[in-house]
Amino acid sequence: MGQINAGRVILGGLLAGLILNVGESLANMVVFAGEYEAMLDRFNLEPVGAGGIAVFVVGGFVLGILMVWLYAAMRPRFGPGPKTAVLVGLAVWFLAWFWQALGMLVMGLFGFQIFLLGEIWGVVEVVLAALAGGWVYREGEAAAAAG
């Protein structure tokens, strides 16, 4: 088993994070904008400001890097390729999207339809990000060929 290629984890993670951030921006500002605005009004909350958005953007890139790190860690057991990337995407979706959204659904913060649509959007977004990040990730093949 080789070492994890940290440079490729970061590079692939930045690509994955970009996909997550674009997907979340589209979801929040276009697809679900009306529902989110109604929720803010219902709870008498202000829209997220620039500081909050910055936290989400940085968090998206951090999550992308962690996804590719997880892909690199899973490669020896599950093999390189799309199957492993999809497994990573599904695991991250379950832990970071589904679980928190289920809590919001149970607490009545939004209804089942927005929960379902959001989770479909999220699983597609996260799996695409994991596939892209996994596509970029490589372990020291060039070093192994030279040695």
3-state secondary structure string, 39-85? HHHHCCCCCCCHHHHHHHHHHHHHHHHHHHHHHHHHHHHHCCCHHHH
At 28 the pLDDT is: 92
The pTM for the full model equals: 0.90
C-alpha to C-alpha distances, 68 to 5, 19, 60, 116, nearest whole angstrom: 10, 13, 12, 26
At 147 the pLDDT is: 33
At 141 the pLDDT is: 57
Q: Which residues of the chain have pLDDT under 50?
A: 142-147
Q: Structural domain boundaries of the chain?
A: 6-138
Q: Give per-residue pLDDT as tens, 31-44.
A: 999 988 998 898 89
